[in-house]
């Protein structure tokens, strides 16, 4: 019997992920519920984290790199006094401290963690080492040493402080690990720390408050899910939009440079539409756009 390939369905479903489930499991359930041929997500959330998980379907998967590069915001709680093997509450305690920082000390430390910083990812993370995931190596008992990587932190704000914990909000770019911020802030303050709770409140143009409830993702609710889908261009809000001419649209859909109306900086990344339909992402070359990813929407 031939394997059923699934439906051609395109767009974004913004899921408010609950704690206790992995990002790939969420994608799998969305794909199953919609009987979708293709699905992916734009930025992993740890199993214990909640909030925005943007699931791309069909041709929307071609816009995933745009959203992956966008700024994201996290609200999180740091628990002081212990460092764990995972840098969050799921790991075993490896070091403890009786020291506790006051609010003034926390505020004074935050500027060191903003702007362009170097960050060492947690040992239990999805970073690849010689082709293997760091979390797989860690589970096998190997000592994982990861190199520091650059990260842009737009802002790191203290929302509230208690004796044993602090509430913070971070806005950062691609590849940021909140767990590393909690670990390194605890070391800086001399009290040690780990993430107790983590929620992604927005990712690019998508907000957790608009997220679809995970417990509603079921084949019985297929019509409800489809009604919640956003068009693939919803992820392209930060790119200039160009309008293709009729002839330009035909050329672009064939992968060739096509004439467009509008203006952008020469060489700037843009997206192109025709009569409300997204055609491609590409580079503006002065009156024309050279497509890099063409959308085959049928």
* Residue positions annotated with a catalytic role: 46
Three-state DSSP at 54 gives: strand
Q: How far apart are CA 239 and CA 226, in angstroms?
A: 25
* Cβ-based neighbour number of residue 224 at 10 Å: 13
Alpha-carbon gap, residue 32 to 121, rounded angstroms: 32
- Alpha-carbon radius of gyration of the chain: 22
For 138, the 3-state DSSP assignment is helix
Taking the C-alpha atoms of residue 2 and residue 227, their distance in angstroms, rounded to an integer, is 30
Going by C-alpha positions, the residue among 75, 21, 64 that lies closest to residue 209 is 75
As a whole number of angstroms, the distance between CA 243 and CA 277 comes to 10
Question: Rounded to whole angstroms, what are the CA distances from 240 to 54, 66, 112, 115, 280?
Answer: 21, 13, 34, 26, 12
């Amino acid at each position: 019997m031939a394997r059923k390939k699934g439906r051609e369905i395109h767009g974004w479903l913004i899921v408010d992920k609950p704690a206790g489930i992995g990002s790939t499991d969420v994608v799998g359930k969305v794909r199953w519920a919609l009987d979708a041929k293709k699905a992916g997500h734009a930025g992993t959330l740890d199993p214990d984290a909640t909030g925005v998980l943007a699931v791309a379907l069909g041709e929307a998967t071609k816009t995933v790199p745009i959203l992956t590069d966008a700024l994201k915001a996290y609200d999180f709680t740091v628990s002081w006094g212990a460092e764990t093997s995972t840098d969050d509450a799921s790991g075993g305690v490896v070091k403890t401290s009786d020291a506790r920082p006051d609010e003034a000390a926390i505020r004074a430390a935050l500027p060191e963690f903003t702007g362009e910083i170097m960050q060492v990812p947690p040992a239990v993370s999805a970073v690849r080492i010689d082709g293997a995931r760091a979390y797989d190596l860690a589970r096998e008992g190997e000592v994982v040493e990861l190199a520091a990587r650059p990260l842009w932190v737009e802002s790191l704000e203290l929302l509230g402080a208690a004796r044993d914990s602090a509430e913070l909000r971070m806005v950062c770019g691609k590849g940021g690990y909140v767990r590393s911020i909690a670990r390194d802030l605890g070391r800086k303050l001399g009290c040690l720390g780990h993430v107790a709770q983590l929620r992604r409140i927005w990712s690019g143009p998508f907000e957790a408050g608009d997220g679809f409830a995970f417990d509603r993702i079921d084949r019985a609710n297929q019509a409800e899910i489809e009604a919640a889908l956003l068009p693939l261009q919803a992820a392209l809000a930060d790119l200039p939009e160009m309008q293709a001419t009729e002839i330009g649209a035909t050329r672009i859909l064939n992968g060739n440079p096509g004439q467009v109306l509008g203006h952008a900086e020469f060489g700037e990344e843009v997206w192109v539409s025709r009569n409300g339909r997204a055609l491609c992402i590409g580079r503006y070359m002065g009156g024309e756009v050279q497509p890099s990813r063409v959308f085959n929407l049928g």
